Amino acid sequence: MTKISFHLPDEFKDGVELRVREGAYPDVEAYLRALIRADLEQEDRWEMTPELAAALAEGDASGDEGRSIADIIADGRKRWNA
């Protein structure tokens, strides 16, 4: 087994320790191993396909309509509920 050392921001450390105290994992190492295992086993990762790249480029090229985020969300909700 290999030993890896790294630094965590305090809020990460506090969150990890909380998960252990809650009983979700027996110790910090078990929690980190579970996170790494889940990441490595994840099969539905997104991939930059030519279609996605084209859609992103189209969005960038379309420019800013001058609408606020709130306006965009409200418009989306109207279309969703229609």
pLDDT tens-digit map of 3-53: 888 898 989 999 999 999 999 999 999 999 999 998 888 877 778 889 989
Q: Domain of residue 24: give its range.
A: 10-41
Using a cut of 0.85, tell me whether the model's pTM lies above it: no
Burial class (CB in 10 A: 0-12, 13-18, 19+), 20: middle
CA dihedral 69, 75, 76, 82 (to 10 degrees): 170
Judge whether 14 lies within some domain: yes
Does 23 fall in a domain? Answer: yes
Residue 72 has pLDDT above 80, yes or no: yes
Give the chain's domain count: 1
Q: Are 60 and 53 in contact (CB under 8 A)?
A: no
d(C-alpha 53, C-alpha 32), whole Å: 33
